[in-house]
Chains A and B, each alone.
Chain A
């Protein structure tokens, strides 16, 4: 209890500071007050151009820092740090470029059958693992089964849950994936228990990597620490826990263009808030060639590094939003949710809290998917306190009514959530029950039956498809329960449910043509966001990095916000 109230007190203190900041910076924004802005104002740092491709000169060692990953073995690589290393050690069937475009990698091509329930991947011939073993269909089957086995207790094997026989492996009743056929070494045939015309996108996940026979079971600790893969880089000695990981170029790489860098040195820094600062300090003192930046330093760093071309800025796969509980009072009707959205001055908060770096969102599927992005599909993502008041009145969200608003502490969300809470008070006269709790509790509170109000949320897609924003967060199936008195078990914690939306998603999953599928996703977003406002979009995710472009060419952010190591050249 004590810690709870202390957290609250800290939240209030931060809130005060933030509000003062807002008032101060808000002065310059005065003229905007009352006038609807289109959400696409000049707020938000522009994206930088991709570093132009430089003719590849091999050599060089690229150095950066990471927090100690959970695993770099594909069976359990999970957070961005582990996935970064694993993606460079392993080449999966497909690859995804910086803009989410899928291209062939270990597979030359992939073909679904008529109803997308069976997929045939034609593998590239003659590619090998770092130890010379051939990469064939059996190597993929081996890797997938190694991760799906019950004894592996993998945290990420669930990505395979569409494959026939996966459930039997997870319960321990089978020791092979019935749906994966490796009879022909050059062809991997996958049968799905649940048809999915986007299944191939999933195979970019590192858990779908092939492994050589020497890998053994998932608990083989020497392989865990020094995985032998088929990727552009290989381990140069085992992972030195809490110290570093060194990779070197795989000279016989044929699954794609060979890497140019001689080596990659990854120094491990302590986690938590200090990690970003350590990366930045290391970049400044010349220890690292790549770094993230602490938010308070963004403006200063941009002004000194952008002129030198060492500043990278890219809209990436992610959206920050408020999760409304759409089945309980007071947000169980559309006008109430629209009123909340219109009462938030995204541009002013971006200016006041994020130094203008956050780009206000006007859709839920972010612009990182250019074909699917619908600017302005959220018609109420602008700031219009007058209309907000009218809608609130109409919805019965009258001044003095109480609304819950929770966020998780320790994630840097204190300031902007405080600003949002203050705007709901100022513009709608609401009594905001504003509360910071640890992340685990936030999730529990969102899942709980009867949860009401607003929760801070963010999302990024596992698979490069707009569907991965819509299906897990907004489909009826993703609630995981039909009983309102039971907790939610899926990711649709707002309990939004609309048959028309579900119908469109089902149609999309059964549509082979990319363009036609994208159209269906757009229609689905028009319903869930445009019409129902089942999530309240706030800011698009944007990543900023410093990179030593004096020394290295082709340094860019990939789809997962990691450096494009395999393409980097020396100048």
Chain B
């Protein structure tokens, strides 16, 4: 286990290096961040002073190494636009994104697993067909459509806050998070239901389930304990990846709901070529993703004793 984690740690550092380099180079495609973007020309002296302030007058390799050096101290620098500490921008938004991602995952695992198990156990029944039809529908409708429809028709009614609303109207976090989380969860729930159904059907055919039934265990124990645990493996893989993606910020959904997470932060940063913010969000997403895939691998061993990590 120790060597496994160590090996994965080294891999993570490599992934991070490659990711920062790629994003660093890619941001140059965004063009000069200090070029004029309004009707009035930014005087050349002002552009030069800005470049000097942000170190863009130095050669590219120096810029990259400086950035890496600062990153080691968790210093993400200041942003081009508002000149705020990027780390404080992350601190404001990342907790919101984590909250949103966790609630979304909770919703989609609950719906997905229950629907998948029912569909598998009651194969070819009305419920099975219903799950198949609904999941096809959910996978087919783009997330932004669901988001816009929810903002248009559900926001403002019952416990769901209005968009836009005055910032002084205090809304409990769960009220704010429910609709965007549901928007994100729908498509994942559909995938999970299908994965769960397929893998459950396969497990139910296996020898040890027959053995368990032969032992005289109740159907509830057979399904709930023996079959469920093993058929969760594809679901865990999927949830791990999905959580990683959600924690990297749900750009479209967060923007539609004006939800102050890192996805929304990234969307705005891309709009104004705000490179320090873009890089920081990417670094954080990569870190989270690497960490999560490690957790998922460890979970495999826990769920299926036949899997060895080392």
Contacts and interface: CB of A to CB of B under 8 A. Distances in A.
Nearest to A278: B164
B89 to A, nearest CB: 7
Contacts of A472: 40
Contact of B53 (A153, A281, A440): A153
Given A270-B255, A440-B37, A457-B39, A241 B92 contact: yes
Nearest to B255: A270
Given A271-B268, A285-B162, A244 B167 contact: yes
B45 interface: yes
Interface in B165-187: 165-168
A243 B43 contact: no
A490 B41 contact: yes
B272 to A, nearest CB: 9
Given A221-B84, A242-B260, A457-B39, A268 B271 contact: no
A70 B82 contact: yes
A65 interface: yes
A179 to B, nearest CB: 18
A33 interface: no
Contacts of A221: 84-85
A111 interface: no
A245 to B, nearest CB: 8
Contact of A240 (B84, B85, B167): B167
A285 B152 CA distance: 13
A510 interface: no
A158 B82 contact: no
B45 A170 contact: yes
A305 interface: no
A157 B53 CA distance: 15
B36 interface: yes
Contact of B166 (A63, A154, A447): A63
Interface in A127-148: none
Nearest to A153: B53
B258 interface: yes
B56 to A, nearest CB: 11
A309 B281 CA distance: 47
Interface string B221-253: 000000000000000000000000000000000
B85 A150 contact: no
B173 to A, nearest CB: 14
A79 B82 CA distance: 12
Contact of B84 (A79, A241, A288): A241
Q: How large is the interface on A (under 10, 10 to 19, 20 to 34, 35 or more residues)?
A: 35 or more
Contacts of A287: 162, 164-166
Contacts of A241: 82, 84, 89, 92
B25 interface: no
Nearest to B52: A153
A489 interface: yes
Contact of B81 (A70, A458, A490): A70
A549 interface: no
B31 A65 contact: no
Contacts, number: 100
Given A267-B164, A440-B31, A459 B39 contact: yes
A158 B167 contact: no
B29 to A, nearest CB: 12
B168 A265 contact: yes
Nearest to A492: B41
B35 interface: yes
Nearest to B165: A287
Contacts of A288: 166
A269 interface: yes
A242 B36 CA distance: 24
Contact of A285 (B83, B156, B260, B264): B156
A96 interface: no
A219 interface: yes
A272 interface: yes
Interface in B259-281: 260, 264, 268, 271
A491 interface: yes
Interface in B190-210: none
Interface in A167-215: 170
Contacts of B81: 70
A265 B166 contact: yes
B46 interface: yes
Contacts of A244: 166-168
Contacts of B162: 285, 287
Interface in B3-57: 31-32, 35-46, 49-50, 52-53
Contact of A267 (B41, B156, B166, B268): B166
B37 A155 contact: no
Interface string A52-71: 00000000000101001011
B44 A158 contact: no
Contacts of A155: 42, 46, 50
A70 B81 CA distance: 6
A246 interface: yes
Interface string A464-491: 0000000010000000000000000111
Interface in B63-90: 81-85, 89
Contacts of B268: 68, 270-271
Contact of A443 (B36, B44, B166, B168): B36
B32 to A, nearest CB: 8
A535 B266 CA distance: 39
B285 to A, nearest CB: 19
Contacts of A224: 82-84
A489 B167 contact: no
B46 A281 contact: no
A462 B39 CA distance: 12
B258 A270 contact: yes
Contact of B41 (A243, A285, A460, A489): A489
A287 B165 CA distance: 6
Contacts of A269: 164, 258
A76 interface: yes
B40 A153 contact: no
A244 B83 CA distance: 18
Interface in A427-459: 439-440, 443, 447, 457-459
24 contacts: A65-B164, A70-B81, A71-B83, A76-B83, A79-B38, A155-B42, A157-B46, A158-B43, A221-B84, A224-B83, A244-B168, A246-B168, A265-B168, A267-B164, A268-B167, A270-B258, A271-B271, A282-B164, A287-B162, A440-B36, A440-B37, A458-B39, A459-B39, A460-B39
Interface of A: 63, 65, 68, 70-71, 76, 79, 150-151, 153-155, 157-158, 170, 219, 221, 224, 240-244, 246, 265, 267-272, 278, 281-282, 285, 287-288, 439-440, 443, 447, 457-460, 462, 472, 489-491, 493
Interface of B: 31-32, 35-46, 49-50, 52-53, 81-85, 89, 92, 156, 162, 164-168, 255, 258, 260, 264, 268, 271
- Across chains A and B, which 7 residue pairs bring their CB atoms closest together, nearest first? A244-B167, A153-B53, A243-B167, A267-B167, A278-B164, A153-B49, A267-B166
